[in-house]
Chains A and B, each alone.
Chain A
Amino acid sequence: GQQVMQIPQYQHVQEGEDFTTYCNSSTTLSNIQWYKQRPGGHPVFLIQLVKSGEVKKQKRLTFQFGEAKKNSSLHITATQTTDVGTYFCAANSGGGADGLTFGKGTHLIIQP
Protein backbone atom coordinates (compact mmCIF):
# COMPACT_ATOMS: atom_id res chain seq x y z
CA GLY A 1 0.00 0.00 0.00
CA GLN A 2 0.84 3.64 -0.14
CA GLN A 3 3.46 4.86 2.30
CA VAL A 4 4.51 8.29 3.39
CA MET A 5 7.86 8.76 5.08
CA GLN A 6 8.32 11.60 7.50
CA ILE A 7 11.52 13.07 8.91
CA PRO A 8 12.88 13.83 11.39
CA GLN A 9 11.26 11.63 14.00
CA TYR A 10 12.19 14.04 16.80
CA GLN A 11 13.23 17.67 16.75
CA HIS A 12 14.45 19.65 19.74
CA VAL A 13 14.50 23.42 19.32
CA GLN A 14 14.97 26.40 21.55
CA GLU A 15 11.91 28.58 21.84
CA GLY A 16 12.05 31.14 19.07
CA GLU A 17 13.94 28.93 16.63
CA ASP A 18 12.40 27.69 13.41
CA PHE A 19 11.23 24.12 12.79
CA THR A 20 10.67 22.10 9.63
CA THR A 21 9.30 18.62 9.06
CA TYR A 22 9.37 16.80 5.73
CA CYS A 23 7.09 14.22 4.18
CA ASN A 24 8.00 12.05 1.18
CA SER A 25 6.20 9.49 -0.94
CA SER A 26 7.48 7.19 -3.66
CA THR A 27 4.25 7.69 -5.58
CA THR A 28 2.44 10.79 -6.79
CA LEU A 29 -0.12 11.96 -4.27
CA SER A 30 -3.53 13.36 -5.11
CA ASN A 31 -3.29 15.58 -2.06
CA ILE A 32 -1.64 15.76 1.33
CA GLN A 33 -2.98 16.77 4.70
CA TRP A 34 -1.24 17.92 7.86
CA TYR A 35 -2.39 17.23 11.39
CA LYS A 36 -1.18 18.28 14.83
CA GLN A 37 -1.49 16.09 17.89
CA ARG A 38 -0.81 17.53 21.32
CA PRO A 39 0.59 15.14 23.95
CA GLY A 40 -2.25 12.92 25.13
CA GLY A 41 -4.62 14.43 22.59
CA HIS A 42 -6.14 13.56 19.27
CA PRO A 43 -5.08 14.60 15.75
CA VAL A 44 -6.41 17.97 14.67
CA PHE A 45 -6.64 18.89 11.01
CA LEU A 46 -4.39 21.78 9.99
CA ILE A 47 -4.53 22.00 6.21
CA GLN A 48 -4.85 20.18 2.90
CA LEU A 49 -2.67 20.79 -0.16
CA VAL A 50 -3.87 19.72 -3.57
CA LYS A 51 -2.02 21.55 -6.33
CA SER A 52 1.51 20.98 -7.57
CA GLY A 53 3.86 23.55 -6.01
CA GLU A 54 1.15 24.86 -3.69
CA VAL A 55 2.17 27.01 -0.72
CA LYS A 56 -0.21 27.91 2.06
CA LYS A 57 0.35 29.93 5.20
CA GLN A 58 -1.37 29.96 8.56
CA LYS A 59 0.20 32.66 10.74
CA ARG A 60 3.67 31.24 11.59
CA LEU A 61 3.07 27.95 9.73
CA THR A 62 4.00 27.52 6.06
CA PHE A 63 2.98 24.41 4.14
CA GLN A 64 4.40 23.40 0.78
CA PHE A 65 3.52 20.70 -1.74
CA GLY A 66 6.26 19.68 -4.14
CA GLU A 67 6.12 20.21 -7.87
CA ALA A 68 5.98 16.46 -8.47
CA LYS A 69 3.38 16.02 -5.71
CA LYS A 70 5.61 13.47 -4.00
CA ASN A 71 6.79 15.56 -1.08
CA SER A 72 5.59 18.18 1.32
CA SER A 73 6.92 20.25 4.18
CA LEU A 74 5.67 22.15 7.19
CA HIS A 75 7.75 25.05 8.46
CA ILE A 76 7.11 26.88 11.71
CA THR A 77 8.75 30.26 12.20
CA ALA A 78 9.80 31.38 15.68
CA THR A 79 8.43 28.43 17.62
CA GLN A 80 6.43 28.97 20.78
CA THR A 81 5.70 26.58 23.63
CA THR A 82 2.17 26.17 22.27
CA ASP A 83 3.65 24.52 19.17
CA VAL A 84 4.69 21.46 21.17
CA GLY A 85 3.23 18.24 19.81
CA THR A 86 3.52 15.76 16.99
CA TYR A 87 2.98 16.85 13.42
CA PHE A 88 1.72 14.25 10.96
CA CYS A 89 1.39 14.31 7.24
CA ALA A 90 -1.30 12.09 5.76
CA ALA A 91 -2.31 11.09 2.27
CA ASN A 92 -5.44 9.48 0.91
CA SER A 93 -5.15 5.70 0.92
CA GLY A 94 -6.59 5.45 -2.54
CA GLY A 95 -9.84 3.82 -1.56
CA GLY A 96 -13.17 5.42 -2.39
CA ALA A 97 -13.78 6.61 1.15
CA ASP A 98 -10.43 8.38 1.34
CA GLY A 99 -9.14 6.81 4.49
CA LEU A 100 -5.78 8.31 5.34
CA THR A 101 -2.28 6.84 5.36
CA PHE A 102 -0.30 8.66 8.04
CA GLY A 103 3.41 9.27 8.32
CA LYS A 104 4.99 8.35 11.64
CA GLY A 105 5.06 11.99 12.67
CA THR A 106 7.66 14.46 13.89
CA HIS A 107 7.71 15.09 17.60
CA LEU A 108 8.50 18.74 18.28
CA ILE A 109 10.09 19.41 21.66
CA ILE A 110 10.65 23.03 22.63
CA GLN A 111 13.13 24.08 25.27
CA PRO A 112 12.36 27.42 26.91
Chain B
Amino acid sequence: NAGVTQTPKFRILKIGQSMTLQCAQDMNHNYMYWYRQDPGMGLKLIYYSVGAGITDKGEVPNGYNVSRSTTEDFPLRLELAAPSQTSVYFCASRAGDTQYFGPGTRLTVL
Protein backbone atom coordinates (compact mmCIF):
# COMPACT_ATOMS: atom_id res chain seq x y z
CA ASN B 1 0.00 0.00 0.00
CA ALA B 2 1.16 3.51 -0.78
CA GLY B 3 -0.71 4.82 2.28
CA VAL B 4 -1.68 8.49 2.12
CA THR B 5 -0.26 10.42 -0.82
CA GLN B 6 -0.34 14.16 -1.45
CA THR B 7 0.46 16.28 -4.46
CA PRO B 8 2.12 18.63 -5.10
CA LYS B 9 4.94 18.61 -2.55
CA PHE B 10 5.66 22.31 -3.00
CA ARG B 11 3.75 25.19 -4.56
CA ILE B 12 4.08 28.95 -4.77
CA LEU B 13 0.92 30.92 -5.47
CA LYS B 14 0.26 34.56 -6.10
CA ILE B 15 -2.37 36.36 -4.05
CA GLY B 16 -5.81 35.70 -5.50
CA GLN B 17 -4.87 32.55 -7.40
CA SER B 18 -6.67 29.25 -6.87
CA MET B 19 -5.42 25.73 -6.54
CA THR B 20 -6.40 22.25 -5.45
CA LEU B 21 -4.29 20.16 -3.11
CA GLN B 22 -4.71 16.49 -3.87
CA CYS B 23 -4.92 13.73 -1.29
CA ALA B 24 -5.47 10.03 -1.88
CA GLN B 25 -5.37 6.92 0.28
CA ASP B 26 -5.46 3.29 -0.76
CA MET B 27 -6.32 1.80 2.63
CA ASN B 28 -10.11 2.03 2.20
CA HIS B 29 -10.44 4.31 5.23
CA ASN B 30 -13.73 6.14 5.62
CA TYR B 31 -12.42 8.98 7.78
CA MET B 32 -10.16 11.58 6.20
CA TYR B 33 -8.86 14.94 7.42
CA TRP B 34 -7.09 18.08 6.32
CA TYR B 35 -4.79 19.93 8.70
CA ARG B 36 -2.55 22.95 8.34
CA GLN B 37 0.67 23.48 10.25
CA ASP B 38 2.12 26.94 10.58
CA PRO B 39 5.85 27.29 11.35
CA GLY B 40 6.72 26.07 14.84
CA MET B 41 3.12 25.27 15.64
CA GLY B 42 0.86 22.29 16.05
CA LEU B 43 -1.65 21.17 13.45
CA LYS B 44 -5.08 22.72 13.07
CA LEU B 45 -8.05 20.89 11.58
CA ILE B 46 -9.48 22.48 8.43
CA TYR B 47 -12.08 19.99 7.19
CA TYR B 48 -12.89 16.35 7.66
CA SER B 49 -14.98 13.65 6.01
CA VAL B 50 -16.59 10.53 7.43
CA GLY B 51 -17.17 8.96 4.05
CA ALA B 52 -17.86 9.60 0.39
CA GLY B 53 -20.30 12.47 -0.02
CA ILE B 54 -20.02 13.68 3.58
CA THR B 55 -17.79 16.53 4.70
CA ASP B 56 -17.77 18.94 7.63
CA LYS B 57 -15.87 21.95 8.91
CA GLY B 58 -13.06 21.78 11.40
CA GLU B 59 -11.46 24.52 13.46
CA VAL B 60 -10.17 26.75 10.62
CA PRO B 61 -12.30 26.21 7.47
CA ASN B 62 -12.46 29.79 6.14
CA GLY B 63 -10.91 30.18 2.70
CA TYR B 64 -11.06 26.47 1.90
CA ASN B 65 -13.45 23.97 0.37
CA VAL B 66 -13.43 20.20 0.12
CA SER B 67 -15.24 17.45 -1.69
CA ARG B 68 -15.33 13.69 -1.23
CA SER B 69 -16.70 11.95 -4.30
CA THR B 70 -14.88 8.68 -3.64
CA THR B 71 -13.51 6.88 -0.59
CA GLU B 72 -9.97 7.26 -1.92
CA ASP B 73 -9.78 10.97 -2.73
CA PHE B 74 -10.21 14.05 -0.57
CA PRO B 75 -9.05 17.21 -2.40
CA LEU B 76 -8.72 20.59 -0.69
CA ARG B 77 -9.53 23.72 -2.71
CA LEU B 78 -8.19 27.21 -2.13
CA GLU B 79 -10.24 29.71 -4.12
CA LEU B 80 -8.58 33.08 -3.49
CA ALA B 81 -5.15 32.50 -2.02
CA ALA B 82 -4.03 34.88 0.72
CA PRO B 83 -0.64 35.22 2.47
CA SER B 84 -2.26 33.92 5.66
CA GLN B 85 -2.68 30.57 3.91
CA THR B 86 1.07 30.08 3.68
CA SER B 87 1.52 26.83 5.57
CA VAL B 88 2.23 23.14 5.32
CA TYR B 89 -0.91 21.14 4.61
CA PHE B 90 -1.28 17.57 5.80
CA CYS B 91 -3.94 15.12 4.78
CA ALA B 92 -4.68 12.15 7.02
CA SER B 93 -6.90 9.10 7.10
CA ARG B 94 -7.99 7.12 10.12
CA ALA B 95 -8.23 3.47 10.99
CA GLY B 96 -9.36 2.69 14.51
CA ASP B 97 -7.69 5.21 16.80
CA THR B 98 -4.72 5.90 14.54
CA GLN B 99 -4.45 8.75 12.05
CA TYR B 100 -2.06 8.20 9.15
CA PHE B 101 -0.60 11.35 7.68
CA GLY B 102 0.55 12.06 4.17
CA PRO B 103 3.93 13.71 3.47
CA GLY B 104 2.43 17.19 3.23
CA THR B 105 2.22 20.04 0.74
CA ARG B 106 4.29 23.13 1.46
CA LEU B 107 2.39 26.15 0.15
CA THR B 108 3.68 29.71 -0.08
CA VAL B 109 1.41 32.60 -1.07
CA LEU B 110 3.18 35.76 -2.21
Contacts and interface: CB of A to CB of B under 8 A. Distances in A.
* Main SS at interface, chain B: strand
B50 A96 contact: yes
A103 B43 CA distance: 8
Interface of B: 31, 33, 35, 40-45, 48-50, 56, 58-59, 90, 94, 97-104
Contacts of A97: 31, 33, 48-50, 56
A95 interface: yes
Contact of B42 (A1, A42, A88, A93): A88
A13 interface: no
The 10 closest A-B pairs by CB, nearest first: A102-B42, A42-B101, A99-B45, A102-B43, A104-B42, A48-B97, A45-B98, A97-B48, A99-B48, A97-B50
Interface size classification for chain A: 20 to 34
A45 B3 CA distance: 14
12 contacts: A45-B98, A93-B45, A93-B59, A97-B33, A97-B50, A98-B94, A99-B45, A99-B59, A100-B43, A100-B45, A102-B43, A102-B44
A44 interface: yes
A80 interface: no
Contact of B43 (A1, A41, A43, A98): A43
A25 interface: no
Contacts of A99: 33, 45, 48, 58-59
A85 interface: no
B25 to A, nearest CB: 13
B5 to A, nearest CB: 11
B7 to A, nearest CB: 14
